[in-house]
Structure 1
């Protein structure tokens, strides 16, 4: 699962961008749209192509390349720290709603520490002291409460999502201080995160480009990533798999 986590972490960056590869060479008309999680797959595939062939090719990727080329690394790190610091109160409340009391206080402590000593979050003092972020989204809260994901959606200029995650994003944006940001500050914060996410995967684009069907690959990774986050990285193992693991362990113990 460790390797899967690394792959899903990589793919999740692509998911924020609406996909960063083309479905060129894939005959969508020949595809049987029978995925119950993707009832409007023809529409979603069209949006996937639009996101990549137009938005990413002519806007997002060039902007990310220019951002990396012009902005010094220390400035990029500081701006990203500030953007992520604004999310700590929502992390705290979402931890609380899942009964994660330790995570609740960690997120609150990080916000107070970084907002004061860290100069409004410019410096991630908390991480330097070994207090790592406990990121939680309201979509994960709903998942913990047993709410299903609902249909898969590929939204123009937004990318992959689902009903549960969409509702979660709306709720997360209503938490203070995110709800009190004016349009320009909110746009700047979102822009920094998107540019950093896109820049982080430029060197990894070939991984998706080599897939026979990038759309299905990302969709599968998207739902795996959702499940991974809701389960906090725990792997669900069937009784048969568990019995097999026990047999293997017993066999190895004989040596």
Structure 2
């Protein structure tokens, strides 16, 4: 969930991407498109021609020279108890939105746990700095409005790379906008929001440090991140138990291969 401070920036970039995509063809090219439909290598990513430069800027410059160094300094020199406490406080502010989003998905048990977590951690836990709710096995499973949309059958929509921020999608952007209309996000002042965003961003970058080598060694980092993004969205949508999708064409090829193998015996 993102702060409402970034909403104007994200909205501007979102609109800019759509406008650029619409203006990226000349009238002659548009006529050709009508005559010969352009094939898209990945239907999830119709804006790839725009997303790739945005990804290059984000990974090769913003992450390399800003996000990664800042995360390393923060995690190295911040006392562990302070780091954990600040992260707990940042996550605690998301609990009210999770309560509503769980209720909208008819997940009453999860909504009750979120309510208990918010009340207990905001009081005894000193505004969320400590996490006494975990002692009651009330897990910090947070829900976003984008997952509510997915629950009711709304697809991810086109894949989008927000410059300097990373992968996203139309559904996630709409969900983030709604999440920031919930209390207390909508009433939090500028500097508390900036601190919250900074803590979440630094911790998020630190969390992927161990997997960074996989990205570096991948044949196409852009595709690697895109696939990982959609897998993560699917994982969150189904609460860690996504359905097993069977590729019928691939299964048929394997069956045919096995039949040929057995015929040789």
Normalised by the size of structure 2, how large is the TM-score?
0.76
Which whole-Å CA distance do the structure 1 matches of 2:246 and 2:44 have between them? 26
Residue deviations 1:96-150 (CA, integer Å, cap 9, x gap): 0000011111101100000000000000110133211231110000000111111
Which whole-Å CA distance do the structure 2 matches of 1:54 and 1:228 have between them? 29
Indicate how the Cα distance of structure 1 residues 87 and 59 shifts in structure 2: closer, same or farther if over 3 A, else same. Answer: same
| TM-align CA RMSD | 1.8
Q: What is the count of residue pairs matched by the alignment?
A: 211
Which whole-Å CA distance do the structure 2 matches of 1:90 and 1:176 have between them? 7
**Equivalent residue, structure 2, for 1:105:** 112
**Equivalent residue, structure 2, for 1:222:** 229
Equivalent of 1:190 in 193, 197, 204: 197
Indicate how the Cα distance of structure 1 residues 50 and 176 shifts in structure 2: closer, same or farther if over 3 A, else same. Answer: same
Equivalent of 2:71 in 50, 64, 68: 64
Which whole-Å CA distance do the structure 2 matches of 1:138 and 1:50 have between them? 28
**Equivalent residue, structure 1, for 2:16:** none
Which whole-Å CA distance do the structure 2 matches of 1:48 and 1:238 have between them? 29
Bigger CA radius of gyration: 2
Q: For residue 91 of structure 2, give the secondary structure of its aligned residue in structure 1.
A: helix
Indicate how the Cα distance of structure 1 residues 228 and 143 shifts in structure 2: closer, same or farther if over 3 A, else same. Answer: same
Residue deviations 1:168-218 (CA, integer Å, cap 9, x gap): 001111111111101111111011011011122223311111110111111
The 8 Å contact of residues 33 and 41 in structure 1, kept in 2 or not, is answered as no
Q: For residue 160 of structure 2, give the secondary structure of its aligned residue in structure 1.
A: strand
Q: Does 1:121 align with 2:128?
A: yes
Q: Structure 2: which 5+ runs fail to align?
A: 1-38, 252-265
**Equivalent residue, structure 2, for 1:210:** 217
The 8 Å contact of residues 114 and 122 in structure 1, kept in 2 or not, is answered as yes
Indicate how the Cα distance of structure 1 residues 240 and 201 shifts in structure 2: closer, same or farther if over 3 A, else same. Answer: closer
Which whole-Å CA distance do the structure 1 matches of 2:144 and 2:69 have between them? 30
C-alpha deviation, 1:240, in angstroms: 9.1
C-alpha deviation, 1:236, in angstroms: 2.2
The 8 Å contact of residues 118 and 124 in structure 1, kept in 2 or not, is answered as yes
Indicate how the Cα distance of structure 1 residues 52 and 237 shifts in structure 2: closer, same or farther if over 3 A, else same. Answer: closer
Normalised by the size of structure 1, how large is the TM-score?
0.79
Q: Does 1:45 align with 2:84?
A: no
Equivalent of 2:239 in 228, 232, 241: 232
Higher relative contact order (CA 8 A, sep 6+): 1
Which whole-Å CA distance do the structure 2 matches of 1:169 and 1:240 have between them? 32
Q: Does 1:88 align with 2:95?
A: yes
